[in-house]
C-alpha cells in the first residue's frame, strides 16, 4: 500500500489517516476493506454519516439509475424532479406523522453551513446578536459555527476573536443544573449587563462533545426560557438525528417544539453531502430570496439516496433493530466498565450511539490503536478524546456488531489501563 502520495502531497492538517494508517479500497455496510485486503469493522460510520451502511445496495441502485438517466446532479436551488421527490417524501414520512409544520432549507451541503444559516436566520428574525451555546457543544468549523463550538482544541485555530456567543454549561457539565435558571434570572434584571439573545442552540445528545445526554426537563427549561425572552430555540440534530438514537429525531417524544432544526450527516443516506434546516414558517418568512446562498445546495445524488433512506422510517423495522442493537452495545460497555470497577468509567448513550467515558484521553487513544490493529475502527470524542464513542451503521449485521464488541473488549485490555 503506497501512502507516499499522501505523505508528500496532502496537507499536514490531515488527522484520521494518522489514527488509521492504511489505504481503504472498498466498503460495504459495516465493513471497510483496505488495499491489502484487511477487513475492518466500522464502529465510526464516517463520523456518524453512514447510518445505513457503506454502499447501501438500494441507494446504490437508485443512484446508478439516476446517473444513467441523466438526472440533474447539480442544480443550485432550482427545482428538480429529484428534489421534489425528496421534499414530498420527507414531508410525508417525517413531518406529517409528527404534525410538524416546517419549511425545508437546503443550505450548503455541510453541517457547519446549516448552522451558519440557522444563526443568520435567528439574528435576522430577532434583530439581536448573541447566540446562547453550551459547553461541550460542537457545531462546525466555519467562523460563525465555530463561535458556537465549545472545544478549545478547535477554537484556538480561529486566529480571530470568536464573538457574539454566550456560553452556558450544558446540563451534564459543572454548574449545568442551575445555569439556565440563573441566566434567565439575570436576563430579567435590567442591571445584569446582559441583553436577550437571538437564539439558544442546543444538541439533545452531544456527540462530539462526549456523548452527553440532556434530559427532556432541561431541554424544556431551555425552550421555555427562549420563548420567554423572545429568542429562537434551535436544535442541532446533525449527528444525533436521522435515526441514530432510535427515532428519526433525537428529541422525538419529548414534546419539544424547536424553531429551527439543523440536519446533515445521515440525511443523504449514502455519504454524499447534503444539509437541510427545518424552519418554522413564521421564522422562515424572514428570509429574503437569496439571503443565504451556496453553490452545492442542489445535490441530485444526495436527494436520490436520501429519498431511499427515508424508506427506513416508513415502518419500525430499522428503529426496532436500533433499540435491540443499542441494548447489546450498552450491555457490553457496562460489562467492560464493571470489569474495571477501580476505574470509575461511565457508560452513556442512546440508541446506537453508545460510549464509554474512560476519563483518560491517552488511554482511549491506545484503545483506538489496538482496535485498529485488530480490525475495528472507532473514534474517541469528548474533552481530550477520553470518551470511546461507538456509532456503527444502524444496519450493521448482528455478527459484525458482536465481533466488533469483542475486538473492543480485547483492545481495552491490550491498551492497558494507566
Query: Rule CB under 8 A: which of 79-118 touch its own copies?
Result: 79-81, 83-84, 87-88, 91, 103-106, 108-113, 116-117
Q: Which stretch binds its own copies (CB under 8 A): 13-21, 249-257, 351-359, 409-417?
A: 13-21
167 counts as binding its own copies under rule CB under 8 A: yes
264 counts as binding its own copies under rule CB under 8 A: yes
Which listed residue (58, 60, 227, 410) binds its own copies by CB under 8 A? 60
Q: Which stretch binds its own copies (CB under 8 A): 12-20, 244-252, 311-319, 333-341?
A: 12-20
What DSSP element (H or E) covers 278? strand 276-279
What DSSP element (H or E) covers 20? none
217 counts as binding its own copies under rule CB under 8 A: no
CA dihedral sign of residues 185, 190, 193, 199: positive
The residue among 284 and 336 lying less far from its own copies, judged by its C-beta, is 284
Which listed residue (36, 68, 342, 399) binds its own copies by CB under 8 A? 68
Q: How far is the CB of 130 from its own copies (least distance, A)?
A: 9
243 counts as binding its own copies under rule CB under 8 A: no
Please give the Cα distance from 381 to 211 (Å, whole number). Answer: 8
Q: How far is the CB of 191 from its own copies (least distance, A)?
A: 4
247 counts as binding its own copies under rule CB under 8 A: no
Q: How far is the CB of 9 from its own copies (least distance, A)?
A: 5
What DSSP element (H or E) covers 399? helix 398-415
186 counts as binding its own copies under rule CB under 8 A: yes
Q: Which stretch binds its own copies (CB under 8 A): 167-175, 311-319, 321-329, 347-355?
A: 167-175
Q: How far is the CB of 240 from its own copies (least distance, A)?
A: 14
Q: Which stretch binds its own copies (CB under 8 A): 155-163, 320-328, 335-343, 394-402?
A: 155-163
Cell triple for residue 413?
485490555
Which listed residue (98, 100, 287, 409) binds its own copies by CB under 8 A? 287
Q: Which stretch binds its own copies (CB under 8 A): 164-172, 314-322, 343-351, 403-411?
A: 164-172
Residues 6+ apart with CB under 8 A from 103: 278, 279, 280, 281, 284
Query: Which residue matches cell numbers 430499522?
Result: 318
Query: Across the beta sheet with 39-42, what order do the strands follow?
Result: 31-34, 39-42, 376-377
Please give the Cα distance from 388 to 378 (Å, whole number). Answer: 7
384 counts as binding its own copies under rule CB under 8 A: yes
The residue among 64 and 327 lying less far from its own copies, judged by its C-beta, is 64
- Residue 92 gets which letter from DSSP? I
169 counts as binding its own copies under rule CB under 8 A: yes
Q: How far is the CB of 254 from its own copies (least distance, A)?
A: 24
346 counts as binding its own copies under rule CB under 8 A: no
Q: How far is the CB of 79 from its own copies (least distance, A)?
A: 4
Cell triple for residue 117?
444559516
What DSSP element (H or E) covers 377? strand 376-377
Q: How far is the CB of 335 from its own copies (least distance, A)?
A: 28
190 counts as binding its own copies under rule CB under 8 A: yes
CA dihedral sign of residues 186, 187, 188, 189: positive
Which listed residue (195, 215, 282, 320) binds its own copies by CB under 8 A? 195
Query: Which residue matches cell numbers 473488549?
Result: 409
258 counts as binding its own copies under rule CB under 8 A: no
What DSSP element (H or E) covers 381? strand 379-381
- The DSSP line for 123-156 is HHHHS---EEEETT----SSHHHHTT---HHHHT
Please give the Cα distance from 293 to 286 (Å, whole number). Answer: 15
365 counts as binding its own copies under rule CB under 8 A: no
Please give the Cα distance from 384 to 153 (Å, whole number). Answer: 8
189 counts as binding its own copies under rule CB under 8 A: yes
CA dihedral sign of residues 254, 262, 105, 180: positive
The residue among 210 and 246 lying less far from its own copies, judged by its C-beta, is 210
Residue 20 phi, psi dihedral angles, 5° rounding? -120, 75
Please give the Cα distance from 272 to 50 (Å, whole number). Answer: 10
Q: How far is the CB of 372 from its own copies (least distance, A)?
A: 11
181 counts as binding its own copies under rule CB under 8 A: yes
Grouping H, G, I as helix, E, B as strand and the rest as coil, residue 333 is helix
**Orientation angle between helical segments 179-187 and 216-229, nearest 10 degrees:** 10
383 counts as binding its own copies under rule CB under 8 A: yes
Amino acid at each position: 500500500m503506497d501512502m507516499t502520495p499522501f505523505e508528500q502531497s496532502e496537507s499536514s492538517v490531515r488527522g484520521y489517516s494518522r489514527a488509521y494508517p492504511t489505504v481503504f479500497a472498498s466498503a460495504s455496510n459495516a465493513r471497510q476493506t483496505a488495499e491489502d485486503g484487511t477487513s475492518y469493522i466500522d464502529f465510526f460510520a464516517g463520523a456518524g454519516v453512514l447510518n445505513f451502511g457503506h454502499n447501501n445496495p438500494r441507494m446504490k441502485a437508485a443512484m446508478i439509475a439516476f446517473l444513467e438517466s441523466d438526472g440533474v446532479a447539480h442544480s443550485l436551488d432550482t427545482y428538480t424532479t429529484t428534489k421534489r421527490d425528496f421534499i414530498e417524501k420527507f414531508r410525508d414520512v417525517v413531518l406529517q406523522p409528527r404534525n410538524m409544520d416546517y419549511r425545508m432549507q437546503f443550505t450548503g451541503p455541510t453541517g457547519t453551513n446549516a448552522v451558519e444559516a440557522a444563526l443568520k436566520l435567528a439574528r435576522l428574525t430577532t434583530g439581536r446578536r448573541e447566540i446562547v451555546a453550551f459547553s461541550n457543544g460542537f457545531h462546525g468549523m466555519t467562523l460563525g459555527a465555530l463561535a458556537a463550538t465549545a472545544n478549545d482544541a478547535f477554537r484556538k485555530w480561529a486566529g480571530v476573536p470568536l464573538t457574539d456567543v454566550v456560553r452556558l454549561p450544558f446540563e451534564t457539565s459543572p454548574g449545568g443544573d442551575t445555569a439556565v435558571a440563573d441566566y434567565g434570572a439575570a436576563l430579567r434584571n435590567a442591571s445584569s449587563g446582559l441583553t436577550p439573545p437571538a437564539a439558544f442552540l442546543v444538541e439533545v445528545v452531544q456527540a462530539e462533545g462526549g456523548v452527553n445526554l440532556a434530559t427532556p426537563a432541561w431541554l424544556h427549561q431551555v425552550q421555555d426560557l427562549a420563548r420567554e425572552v423572545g429568542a429562537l430555540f434551535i436544535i442541532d440534530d446533525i449527528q444525533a438525528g436521522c435515526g441514530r438514537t432510535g427515532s428519526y429525531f433525537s428529541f422525538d417524544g419529548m414534546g419539544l417544539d424547536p424553531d429551527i432544526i439543523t440536519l446533515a450527516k445521515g440525511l443523504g443516506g449514502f455519504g454524499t453531502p447534503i444539509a437541510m434546516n427545518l424552519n418554522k414558517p413564521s421564522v422562515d418568512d424572514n428570509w429574503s430570496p437569496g439571503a443565504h446562498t451556496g453553490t452545492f445546495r442542489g445535490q441530485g445524488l444526495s436527494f436520490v439516496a436520501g429519498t431511499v433512506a427515508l424508506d427506513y422510517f416508513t415502518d419500525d423495522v430499522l428503529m426496532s433493530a436500533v433499540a435491540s442493537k443499542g441494548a447489546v452495545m450498552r450491555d457490553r460497555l457496562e460489562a467492560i466498565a464493571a470489569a474495571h470497577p477501580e476505574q470509575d468509567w461511565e457508560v452513556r448513550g442512546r440508541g446506537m450511539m453508545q460510549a464509554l467515558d474512560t476519563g483518560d484521553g491517552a488511554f482511549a487513544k491506545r484503545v483506538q490503536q489496538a482496535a485498529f490493529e485488530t480490525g475495528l475502527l472507532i473514534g474517541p470524542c469528548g474533552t481530550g478524546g477520553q470518551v470511546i464513542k461507538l456509532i456503527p451503521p444502524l444496519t450493521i449485521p448482528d455478527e459484525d456488531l458482536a465481533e466488533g464488541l469483542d475486538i473492543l473488549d480485547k483492545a481495552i485490555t491490550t491498551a492497558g489501563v494507566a
